[in-house]
Structures are given as C-alpha cells and as structure tokens.
Amino acid sequence: MHYLGHLWEVFIESKGIFLDATVLTLRLTVLSIFIAIFIGLFFALLKTTGVKVLVWIANTYIFLVRGTPLIVQIFIFYYGLSYGPLQISGFWSAALGLAFHNGAYIAEIFRGAIQSIGKGQTEAGRSIGMTSWKTMKRIILPQALRRALPPLGNQFIIGLKDSSLAAFVGLAEIFNVSTTMGSADFDFMTYLLISAVYYLILVFLLTLLVSFTEKKLAVSD
C-alpha cells in the first residue's frame, strides 16, 4: 500500500512532462502511420499488377523490412538523414523510419484485402467501359479499405507501441521520459509503470476509435 501511494504521488507530480511526451508520441505515431498508409497502398498496388518487375520491387521492399529489426531501420534513417546532406530533424527521421517499417505490413494487409474482392466485380467495371485504374479506384479500393480496417487497426496499435524505439535516437517520447526520470532518482520501476499506464490509455482510446469506425462503416453498408 505504501508503494501504491508513492506511485500515485509520482504519477501526479510528473503528469506535466508525461503529457508533453504523450503529445510527442501521438504526433510521431499519427505522422508515421499516415505516411505508411500511402507507402503500403503503393506497394500493394504494385503486387496486384501482375507485372513481374513491379511485383519483384514490392516483394524486395517487404522482404527487407521483415528481415531486419525495426531499431536498425530507425538508426539507418536517423544517421542517414539527420547527419546526411538533407539535415532532416531527428523527429522526421524517426517518423520516416517508422513509416518505412509499418508500410511493408500495411502493404500486405491492403494486398490481401484487394485480392479478397471477387474478380467478377473487376470484370463488371471493365464491361461498362471503365479503365483498370477507374475500376480499382471506384469499385475495388472502397470495398478493400473496409475489409482492411480491422487488421489496419491492429497495425496502428503496433505502430503506437513501436514508437517507443524513437527513444534511442533522443526523442523525448513516453519511454524516453520514463527512463530519464528514473535514472535521475534511481526509481526506474515507478516511472516505467507510469509509462505503461500512458501507453495503455492510448491503446485503449485507439481501440475505441477503430471499433467506432468499423461500426459506422457497417451501418453505411
């Protein structure tokens, strides 16, 4: 009971710095996922073209992402962009690293959703004079995006938790703040537990948002 009282006291005292870290975590997550959606959709479309060169490019990208650790990818982007000729900020290099990583998994989600749509719908679109691109844009993609929403929601949650790795390139997100404050007074466990609470709250809210969106789309169907 004494420790719970201490935990609550530290939680209240540190809420200001943790709220700032939470805002940074959300900014990093939203930006990286937003970019990753476009990356994923692009490579998913490449995989569904049936053109061998384009399929090979998409498969190579997905293989590289799946075959290397996320932390390595973040460091490559960080040292390649922050200290390279572009001089991109640490925040942007971390966001792009996370987007590059999540994009591969989102590509497979989109690819599966697109291929789950019956070929008859593509043929129907072509039969009324639509081009392949118009058929994809107006008939296939809207249905595929709805089918992809549940696994996309899961990937968004993974992306949120993966953002903690940005701590290793100096960003003051939730995990970084917890370890920094823990090292200041040698109370690591307390601050790590507090960071876990913030992550749980964010995951809970994101889960509610995805569930609400799914229900709205189901009603519109």
Do the Cβ atoms of 107 and 39 come closer than 8 Å?
yes
Residue 80's pLDDT is what? 86
Which pLDDT tens digit goes with each residue over 49-73? Answer: 889 999 999 999 999 999 999 999 9
- C-alpha–C-alpha distance, residues 40 and 221, integer Å: 25
Residue 202's pLDDT is what? 95
Q: How confident is the model at residue 42 (pLDDT cuts 50, 70, 90)?
A: very high
Q: How confident is the model at residue 216 (pLDDT cuts 50, 70, 90)?
A: confident
Residue 129's pLDDT is what? 63
Indicate the range of 2-11, 112-121, 152-161, 183-192 predicted with least confidence: 112-121
Residue 68 falls in which region: left (phi positive, over 0), alpha (psi -120 to 50) or beta? beta
Residue 1's pLDDT is what? 66
Please count the other Cβ atoms lying within 10 Å of the Cβ belonging to residue 117.
17
Residue matched to tokens 């293989």: 63
* CATH number for position 121: 1.10.3720.10
Q: How many domains does the chain have?
A: 1
- C-alpha–C-alpha distance, residues 162 and 39, integer Å: 18
Residue 154's pLDDT is what? 92
Mean pLDDT comparison of 83-92, 118-127, 174-183, highest-scoring range: 174-183
Mean pLDDT comparison of 54-63, 117-126, 128-137, highest-scoring range: 54-63
What is the domain range of residue 87? 2-220
- C-alpha–C-alpha distance, residues 115 and 141, integer Å: 10
Q: Per-residue pLDDT for 220 more than 60?
A: no
Q: How confident is the model at residue 122 (pLDDT cuts 50, 70, 90)?
A: low
Do the Cβ atoms of 75 and 169 come closer than 8 Å?
yes
Which pLDDT tens digit goes with each residue over 11-35? Answer: 999 999 999 999 999 999 999 999 9
Gap between the terminal Cα atoms of the chain: 51
Residue 88's pLDDT is what? 85
Residue matched to tokens 């290099």: 93
Residue 72's pLDDT is what? 95
Q: Per-residue pLDDT for 134 more than 80?
A: no
Q: How confident is the model at residue 89 (pLDDT cuts 50, 70, 90)?
A: confident
Q: Per-residue pLDDT for 221 more than 60?
A: no
Q: Per-residue pLDDT for 124 more than 70?
A: no
Residue among 124, 160, 94, 72 nearest 152 (CA):
160
